[in-house]
């Protein structure tokens, strides 16, 4: 044993086999090449490419102004800027984004004087308190041979490994709409959500009251006080399942509507709520059939067009699950907790 308490290693034990050594050297070489690329990749994405790490942008916005056509309700963006480092004739994609979501793509061509003024017609969008932003992309595949020849000469500005060359313009974020328009739009959106989840809660409660009425023989029964399946089925099919299907279809369409760009997560929760209510109501109906000595109706087991597959699997959502979803929706659409009690 050596002084450290370990057995001394023989020369053969210190020897690293040739294949292992070659493998280690090869991995080291690859890592070295990768790290040599990293500065170029990082610097190609926007800031820090000037002398001494100062900010140097390929596309420099100087002003972005949004105007609204009162007749159509659509916005037009007046975008001004300069591109002193970019060859004339270069095609630049302007990606309009909101919270990293791509809203619309525009393309401009760098003029001879390297200064641009673009008038961009934006697709229908609702005013929102969250700001929009441009991401600019210079894609080599979209350039002419002449432009690419000029770009390839500027290897520091346009490192090939970083193509397409992208910049994020966080310092030029902007709003669509005035303060009053944004508030009015938000109020309309809040009303849209609250009216729908309130109606879903009403449907849920109506089914439970209906089941109780059958048990008390006060409704959905014949003259003898016996369960009238025809009356119950008409109620479930038309006033419950059909209405929930309509809501689910409406919510799914909402994901593609510009007015809900800022509220897609709230839409997801509202859709989840409709599924939970669908599961609860059809389950109550199935239990009613069984309590009356009848097999569950196929229209409740597998209702046509109505989604009832909940995240919890087979577990039927509780009322607390519904309340939790409403709280999440309210938080996203800006309804304060103290107001939730009055919203359904």
Give the CATH number of the domain where residue 80 resides: 2.60.40
Residue 189 structural domain: 179-343
Is 303 within a domain?
yes
Shared domain for 75 and 160, answered yes or no, is yes
| pLDDT of amino acid 169 | 93
Q: According to the model, what pLDDT value does residue 254 have?
A: 94
Whole-number Cα distances in Å, 192 to 57, 199, 330, 342? 43, 11, 12, 15
The residue out of 176, 203, 226 marking a domain boundary is: 176
Where residue 309 falls among pLDDT bands split at 50, 70, 90?
very high
Does 70 share its domain with 93? Answer: yes
Q: Which of 15-29, 46-60, 156-170, 205-219 has the lowest mean pLDDT?
A: 15-29
Is residue 166, in this structure, part of any structural domain at all? yes
Q: Residue 54 above 80 pLDDT?
A: no
Domain assignment present for residue 19? The answer is no
Q: Which of 256, 236, 235 is nearest to 308 (CA)?
A: 236
Q: Do 72 and 121 reside in the same domain of the chain?
A: yes
Claim to verify: residue 245 and residue 122 sit in the same structural domain: no
Let me know if residue 202 belongs to a domain. Answer: yes
Select from 113, 147, 176 the last residue of a domain. 176
pLDDT at 127: 86
- The number of distinct structural domains making up the chain is 2
Q: What is the mean pLDDT of residues 173-192?
A: 92
User: Is residue 31 in some structural domain?
Assistant: no
Q: Which of 46-50, 79-83, 169-173, 250-254 has the lowest mean pLDDT?
A: 46-50
Record the tokens describing residue 214, joined without a space: 């059958």
Q: Is 58 exposed, middle or buried (0-12, 13-18, 19+ CB in 10 A)?
A: buried
User: Are 333 and 213 in a shared domain?
Assistant: yes
More confident residue, 38 or 327: 327
Share of the chain above pLDDT 70, in %: 82
Pairing assessment for the beta strands 165-168 and 174-176 based on DSSP bridges: unpaired
pLDDT category of residue 23 using cuts at 50, 70 and 90: low
CA dihedral of 174, 178, 179, 184, whole degrees rounded to 10: -120
Average per-residue pLDDT in the chain? 85
Same domain membership, residue 183 and residue 172: no
Residues 162 and 192 grouped into a single domain: no
CB atoms under 10 Å from CB of 163, counted, come to: 15
Question: Same domain, yes or no, for 208 and 286?
Answer: yes
Lookup result for tokens 């972005």: 64
Least confident interval from 43-52, 170-179, 295-304: 43-52
pLDDT at 24 > cutoff 70: no
| pLDDT computed for residue 27 by the predictor | 53
The pLDDT value given to residue 41: 38
What is the three-class DSSP state of 27? helix
Q: Is the pLDDT of residue 44 over 70?
A: no
Mean pLDDT of 171-198: 93
| Long-range contacts of 109-114, Cβ-Cβ distance < 8 Å, separation of 24 or more | 110/83, 110/86, 112/88, 114/82, 114/83, 114/84, 114/86, 114/88
Report the DSSP beta bridge partners of residue 92: 108
Higher-pLDDT residue of 109, 177: 109
- Of 34-48, 235-249, 268-282, the one with minimum mean pLDDT is 34-48
Which of 40-49, 173-182, 274-283 reaches the highest mean pLDDT? 274-283
Bigger pLDDT: 97 or 8? 97
| C-alpha–C-alpha distance, residues 16 and 305, integer Å | 67
Angle at 303 between CA 301 and CA 305, to 5 degrees: 150
Residues 228 and 303 in one domain: yes
48 pLDDT above the threshold of 80: no
210 plus 325 within the same structural domain? yes
Residue 152 pLDDT exceeds 50? yes
Q: Contact, 109 vs 139, CB < 8 A?
A: no
Asked whether residue 224 is assigned to any structural domain, the reply reads yes
On whether both 330 and 198 belong to a single domain, the answer is yes
Of 176, 200, 218, the residue at which a domain comes to its end is 176
Is 342 a residue whose pLDDT tops 60?
no
The two tokens of residue 83 are 């591109």
The verdict on residue 97 lying in a domain is: yes
Residue 111's pLDDT is 97
Is 24 inside a domain boundary? no
Can you list the positions of beta strands (E) in 122-217?
128-138, 165-168, 174-176
User: How far apart are the C-alpha atoms of 206 and 208, rounded to whole Å?
Assistant: 5
Q: Are residues 166 and 184 in the same domain?
A: no
Tell me which long-range contacts 103-106 makes (C-beta under 8 A, separation of at least 24).
Answer: 103/132, 103/261
Reply yes or no on whether the pLDDT at 243 is more than 80: yes
Band the pLDDT of 100: cuts 50, 70, 90.
Answer: confident
Prediction pTM value: 0.71
- Are the CB atoms for 318 and 245 separated by under 8 Å? no
Instruction: Give the C-alpha separation, 231 to 254, whole Å.
Output: 34
The contacts of residue 296 (CB under 8 Å, 6+ apart) are 285, 286, 289, 290
* Cβ contacts of 304 within 8 Å, gap of 6 or more: 241, 245
In the predicted model, what is the mean pLDDT of residues 33-51? 43
């Amino acid at each position: 044993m050596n002084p450290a308490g370990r057995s001394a290693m023989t020369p053969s034990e210190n020897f690293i086999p040739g294949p292992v050594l070659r493998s280690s050297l090869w991995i080291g070489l690859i890592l070295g090449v990768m790290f040599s690329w990293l500065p170029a990749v990082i610097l190609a994405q926007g800031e820090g490419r000037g002398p001494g790490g100062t900010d140097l942008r390929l596309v420099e916005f100087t002003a972005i102004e949004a105007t609204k056509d009162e007749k159509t309700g659509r916005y037009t963006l007046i975008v001004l800027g300069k591109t002193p480092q970019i060859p004339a004739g270069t095609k630049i994609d302007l990606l309009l984004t909101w919270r990293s979501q791509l809203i619309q793509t525009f393309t401009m061509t760098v003029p001879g004087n390297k200064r641009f003024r673009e008038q961009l017609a934006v697709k229908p969008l609702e005013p929102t308190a969250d700001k929009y932003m441009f991401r600019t992309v210079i894609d080599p595949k979209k350039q002419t041979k002449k432009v690419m020849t000029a770009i390839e000469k500027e290897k520091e500005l346009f490192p090939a490994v970083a193509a397409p060359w992208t910049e994020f313009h966080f310092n030029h974020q902007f709003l669509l709409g005035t303060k009053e328009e944004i508030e009015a739009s938000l109020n309309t959106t809040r009303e849209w959500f609250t009216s729908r989840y309130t109606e879903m809660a009403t449907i849920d409660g109506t089914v439970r009251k209906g089941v109780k009425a059958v048990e008390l023989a006060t409704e959905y029964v014949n003259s003898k006080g016996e369960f009238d399946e025809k009356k119950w089925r008409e109620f479930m099919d038309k006033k419950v399942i059909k209405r929930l299907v309509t809501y689910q279809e409406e919510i799914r369409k909402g994901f593609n509507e510009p007015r809900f760009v800022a509220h897609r997560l709230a839409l997801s929760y509202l859709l989840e709520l409709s599924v939970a209510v669908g599961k609860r109501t059809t389950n109550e109906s199935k239990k009613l059939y069984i309590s009356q000595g009848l097999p569950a109706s196929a229209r409740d087991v597998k209702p046509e067009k109505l989604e009832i597959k909940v995240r919890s699997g087979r577990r039927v959502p509780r009322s607390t699950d519904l309340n939790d979803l409403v709280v999440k929706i309210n938080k996203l659409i800006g309804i304060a907790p103290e107001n939730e009690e009055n919203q359904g």
